[in-house]
Structure 1
């Protein structure tokens, strides 16, 4: 069975004098499957909402109302560094070995954690960047100014310092602050969607590469946070009144795609909630789905972490209570993508165009896998060996190993000379032996 883990961050003072919960712990690592347990804790952190990012080796936590990001080593279980930036950090997201930070002043700060290179964009948002979502190729930033910007990650990472950093698209259909932003991981131009939630009590599904709104969803109260199914089949939303909604995008009455019966400009009223959070917990301030989209985890202002089984749509079960306001939940994939390098220690960011070094640990062999290695690791005879053998049987036979007639004659001359020399040597040996007798 796969071991599935998730991280939870809390902020603020303890809600009660609970001696069972450590007062200085700010980040918890939990195991969801096969049984729920707390596997690790990280101290001295007060991460803001949308301010937690987790990699295979590190945890990055933007401190609430501060210009500081705490960096923790997962292997050592301690704080590795405390990084200070020129502006207060409101949101963070990690894509590969690059940490993207949204500032209070509406800027985007890019930090390459293996080189220390730092890039800062102009204040393209006129208010704080409240949420960020990323794919391998695009970055999306949502702001209190009600706009969502779409950025090209390769362009943001250009080494040419003279390039002006501007968004590719601006999604501006909302009329109030953006509260949450989620994006699918598809690379297809037609199926790449993102979903933005706003205080105008709506969510909009976008084809963000083209800047086209695909569907507008209206809620009774504004959505606080969103979660997107791993295959982008459904949207899960938590609203201010404590309700939880599940919107199936490709149900019998599809909202997207060619099977949709309505025009994309038609707004859909979402009124039927699949669940409601307990009153003593408060509305979910953060949510996350596990790797196969069957379990939803929600965090609440009163410290509760609840589990919702989406297959049965049963009532929630409490996993743990952390005695402080929960601000972030982040799952770690049980099936991580293999990568050639692994950052053991982060490099502190620096401004300027000076030269820099890439500091990381090689996580694979420098040489390519040999034929013997492939044969050794495979079950039975490898397919490529079988294919070569079949081709060898089908190929026409070549006489004399493909040598020309002239080369064959020369070889026979050499062989005959050797045979003649061998006979003469043997004859002399016999004569010498006979005469001696």
Structure 2
């Protein structure tokens, strides 16, 4: 039976004490259903917001106020490695299975290939701390306390030689204060969106491929964390007073998507909908994460409590757990994870110098799949199917010319036979008529 789990990371709080079982524990894997319980726990972890990243084999946690990232093995259930960086680490994000993006205190980003140990560092494009990251397989977005957001190309960063300068594709500078959170839409095209929040109490929706501003929302409180609906219909913001603010992009009476209405893009919108309030004072909402189907969301609070909210009824649902330490990071995992061909058994620590890299991975299933699986699981039409169709069309055009010539030849032969038969028929008919009239 599939289960729904979430990963939580907490920040050590000197004024609070944990019970014996959870003492010194900072990272948890907690099951939501069918049974609500802690499945795994990892010690020696203390993280600020936006400092948790995970793939199918490992969990990466940047240690608060340190230049160290703890790497936990899911399979072994222990702390596998301590990875040091030249500066304090303030944010983490994964791009696919094998790349970890690291945001540093001096405004740089490091891309770390965990299967080979290769690392690439960008220039100090930000003037201050990089405290929020969001990534796809192609792009990385970095937000900083300098109020700017940079868009980076992963292929360019990993493909450019180290002696060349790494610069961002574009810079988004519409916020007026420090960036608190970044979330990316779920589209695969060039119209995919980014939703960013800031200490200036604004949430901005924009196209990170073009840098186009789509909408600006003004909130009464500072949003500290964001969660995006799986269909990109709404964004949920965890506010500094512990409440949750829902902002819908689509309305029932809208003829077209308001995000792409040019007349509305330049006008900031004051959010008037009532926020969802927790039942008790639990402190700021430091982390938020939505379920795979968007029917509920989880929030982590300063008090250590993790709350569940019903998005359909738009209200508080229940308390999941109390970790007794501020919950700074939450990540709900998919109950039906995508199957991977490769498994990273042991991470390779970053190498400061370029050298011959060794790929430390294990093949867990055949690399080739059936044509049916490739067709069903691919995005759009597979390249092989299109090439085969084009080839068949071109082959058909050449074959049709030769077939037409052959048919013309056969038609000429048939007409020749028909004309000969007509001549014989005419001669026979003439002879019959002459005999009928008595002529010899």
Counterpart of 1:130 in structure 2 is: 131
Work out the CA distance in 2 between the residues paired with 1:318 and 1:15: 23
Counterpart of 1:263 in structure 2 is: 264
Work out the CA distance in 2 between the residues paired with 1:6 and 1:19: 21
Deviating more after overlay: 256-265 vs 285-294: 256-265
Deviating more after overlay: 313-322 vs 197-206: 313-322
* TM-score using structure 1 length: 0.81
Counterpart of 2:380 in structure 1 is: none
Change in 2 beyond 3 A, CA 1:141/1:256? farther
Counterpart of 1:229 in structure 2 is: 229
Contact 1:253–1:260 (CA under 8 A) maintained in structure 2 = no
Work out the CA distance in 2 between the residues paired with 1:242 and 1:368: 48
Q: CA deviation at 1:370?
A: 9.8
Change in 2 beyond 3 A, CA 1:129/1:17? closer
The equivalences for 1:8-407 within 5 A come to 8-13=8-13, 16-19=16-19, 21-96=21-96, 97-158=98-159, 160-190=161-191, 192-252=192-252, 254=254, 256-257=257-258, 260=261, 262-366=263-367
* TM-score using structure 2 length: 0.80
Change in 2 beyond 3 A, CA 1:327/1:368? closer
Q: CA deviation at 1:214?
A: 0.2
Q: Per the alignment, in what secondary structure is the counterpart of residue 316 of structure 2?
A: coil
Work out the CA distance in 2 between the residues paired with 1:124 and 1:301: 32
Work out the CA distance in 1 between the residues paired with 2:262 and 2:348: 52
Deviations 1:164-216 (A, max 9, x none): 211111000111000111111312112x0001100111010001110011000
Contact 2:90–2:130 (CA under 8 A) maintained in structure 1 = yes
The aligned length equals 372
Change in 2 beyond 3 A, CA 1:278/1:156? farther
Contact 1:14–1:23 (CA under 8 A) maintained in structure 2 = no
RMSD of the TM alignment (CA)?
2.1
Deviating more after overlay: 322-331 vs 265-274: 265-274
Change in 2 beyond 3 A, CA 1:121/1:318? same
Q: CA deviation at 1:261?
A: 8.7
Work out the CA distance in 2 between the residues paired with 1:366 and 1:223: 44
Q: CA deviation at 1:336?
A: 1.9
Work out the CA distance in 1 between the residues paired with 2:67 and 2:15: 25
Contact 2:8–2:329 (CA under 8 A) maintained in structure 1 = yes
Deviating more after overlay: 322-331 vs 358-367: 358-367
Q: CA deviation at 1:20?
A: 5.6
Work out the CA distance in 1 between the residues paired with 2:197 and 2:124: 22
Contact 1:125–1:143 (CA under 8 A) maintained in structure 2 = yes
Q: Which runs of 5+ in 2 are unaligned?
A: 375-440
Structure 1 segments of 4+ aligned residues over 6 angstroms from their partners: none
Contact 1:179–1:198 (CA under 8 A) maintained in structure 2 = yes
Work out the CA distance in 1 between the residues paired with 2:253 and 2:138: 32
Change in 2 beyond 3 A, CA 1:343/1:29? same
Contact 1:15–1:302 (CA under 8 A) maintained in structure 2 = no
Q: CA deviation at 1:339?
A: 2.2
